[in-house]
A and B are shown apart, each in its own frame.
Chain A
């Protein structure tokens, strides 16, 4: 990041407190994901059945669950897994989608048509059902949830990268690179990709939240991460069963955590878009 970009970023953040707050929130989240297990007041896994279903109190800030586990501690510890799921799913589809999409967008022709067909097939799928089917088929382990989420995200990244590269494929600097002795592949990888990555980074941060929600949805229908691992989606899904009996804290706090996280990433994505959008640089 050059100093000019840095200055620009600072300017954007100053004019845009929402983005600044979102960035701070995302930073805190990442921090919690790293140090979470060492700062929580209770063991997030250890049960304490006599103290089950306690409402929030000074001791249990967010109450306790069915097994008497401290909801607050579980929330904090879950940050790591949730962020990991979201980040790895998005990274996977991002990496694959960017390269494939960029190649398609640059070369056009047969590869583009074939990949386009494949993307059409994927897009024509009801995505959530596809994710469900894949998790059901592969087994509901964390890595499979990640893979399923990545695959259903893939078409968007491919299309996005394809479109972004496509508008640049005839740019002067691309032809100049060819004239400077670069092969097509090297033009795509060393010239076009670095140029479309920032725009895609916006997509990434918007998608991070979506990936977390997707995992939560899978948990709700029983295809999520297995107990007793704390994970927001499954906590919300479990807590949802207690809404009717007024045990609100079981759904409210994980829901809030989920909400704040997704909110952070979404607002950050919006902000990133502003930072990276050259038209904003008046």
Chain B
């Protein structure tokens, strides 16, 4: 392939991608144009459904059978590859353009050793012997800085951690020295610390080998730190393209502005996330009118390319200082003493954990995956029994009643929970109304009728869910709407303690922003105590007065959020904090 001198490595002009669905053709990418120069790192940022991944797959022509490039041109190295035959594409794949995917473990063949898979990638473009393949695979593993590369060569993906899998994936992608690397959310699903090392590796390798990279991500912080140029996509279009610094400091487009605002920073407050001064998302505008009847929701159920709609904030910004200080005389609501949870085969998920929550207080629980934070939320919610330790709620030991019988306890309605994945947390066979009404029927014994309907509508309204959506089933709702149903259900019985288990982890930042604001408002209105479980330190810092940091089932540090985030006492907390990405320009390379 000849390279046109001086021209961009990859140029996309007016790209349109359409998918045929049963409702006809859906255009996922609507006229995207951008280019990448050789050796350059371009960030493509957008929320789910913005078409950023589709664009990447269109470039490599790895779209699903139902999708196709309907218009536009893709030039690689000066050559038009839009209509390239599958044979031509095969020659490009791996050798000229490589991809790295999210969920690295799933992206590797589970029943083939790492070494074989790297050798496969090599032999796809070169004639090499098995021994040679192995030797070069080893070299590549060394290049991606895997520990004990000789041993890893014969390991299977399941024997490696997620970060290591991603390194292997990188090794495969760079095996044939491609000119362009497309990294599609390469660190999503990885712990923050791992995320950092993987990204550092990627930028090191691309820099060393003079490779261009397109980094596709939803994370503005990530893009700002590692990219030289950033494109912001929304609804299949590039709305803004700029240097990271200028983009984040002075976003031009309304969408970018909103996005930048919604991304938590080291200093942002809840109120900052979605300030009223910004025009709402065009589709949000419709559903924003909570009290208005029959909102004209244009998004359609079940579409893969749906846009997350959300509701604009209403009365934020108050009481910022007030919430940091809770008078010490406030009564204790929850007292957890020496909690231990053991599973079979000696796995200790929670090891001797103690903490307090005062009435109306908000406690953050942070830690990486496997730190036991989710187990604690279920223990406190009395969904599972602890192996040892006490849980006192309002002075009563609620751990004595087995979890299997706790549904009969009068305190059941006082402790409610909001789950991580809004889709997973709604019964697919209940509509939104029934989801919210269910605890009212079970716990308050309310019968169907006007009273119940009124109560459900009230809860929905408080959670920002338009009453017109109450008849819908979960698969007909967007992620944000489902999260609101989950919240409405949790507050329906007016609990005193609300456990939030990563409530926004599965949501886009702009939706996360409004949900966080909603939760904060509800807390203040009801004087609700929160146990806020999250891996996102920025969010916890904003939401919680006090924070508990966990690692491997035990508490490593706890204290006032401001103090803790300002001056962490332990190494682990420090590492966690350092790994957090904040908006800003690219780090020195």
* Residues of A that sit less than 8 Å from B by CB: 2, 4, 8, 11, 15, 171-173, 175-184, 191, 194-195, 278, 281-282
Contacts and interface: CB of A to CB of B under 8 A. Distances in A.
A230 B475 CA distance: 48
Contact of A183 (B407, B415, B421): B407
A176 B425 contact: yes
Given A11-B22, A172-B421, A195-B429, A179 B301 contact: no
B164 interface: no
A180 B427 CA distance: 12
Interface string B404-435: 11011000110111011100111111100000
A234 B304 CA distance: 52
Contacts of B416: 179
Nearest to B421: A172
Given A2-B473, A11-B22, A181 B424 contact: no
A118 to B, nearest CB: 23
A11 B21 CA distance: 11
A173 B301 contact: no
B379 to A, nearest CB: 12
Closest 7 CB pairs of A and B: A172-B425, A180-B439, A181-B442, A172-B419, A172-B424, A181-B443, A173-B427
22 contacts: A4-B301, A4-B476, A8-B22, A11-B22, A171-B425, A172-B419, A172-B426, A175-B381, A176-B427, A177-B427, A179-B383, A180-B442, A180-B443, A180-B489, A181-B442, A183-B404, A183-B407, A183-B408, A184-B404, A195-B428, A281-B302, A282-B22
Interface in B156-170: none
B486 interface: yes
A15 B304 CA distance: 20
Contacts of B419: 172, 175-176
B426 A173 contact: yes
Nearest to B22: A11
Contacts of B381: 175, 179
Given A172-B421, A195-B427, A282-B66, A178 B407 contact: yes
Contacts of A2: 473
A177 B438 CA distance: 8
Nearest to B475: A278
Given A4-B476, A171-B424, A278-B475, A176 B486 contact: yes
B413 A173 contact: no
A24 B489 CA distance: 43
A182 B407 contact: yes
B378 A180 contact: no
Contacts, number: 79
Nearest to A173: B427
Contacts of B415: 179
Contacts of A8: 22
A97 to B, nearest CB: 20
A174 to B, nearest CB: 8
Contact of A181 (B304, B412, B417, B473): B412
A163 to B, nearest CB: 18
Contacts of B429: 194-195
B484 to A, nearest CB: 14
Nearest to A14: B22
B304 A173 contact: no
Contacts of A182: 407, 442
A279 B384 CA distance: 32
Contacts of A11: 22
Most B C-beta atoms less than 10 A away, residue of A172, A179, A195: A179
Contacts of B443: 180-181
Contacts of B383: 175, 178-179
Given A11-B22, A181-B442, A175 B417 contact: yes
A194 B405 CA distance: 23
Contacts of B425: 171-173, 175-176
B479 to A, nearest CB: 13
B505 to A, nearest CB: 12
A176 B424 CA distance: 10
Most B C-beta atoms less than 10 A away, residue of A172, A183, A195: A172
Most B C-beta atoms less than 10 A away, residue of A15, A176, A184: A176
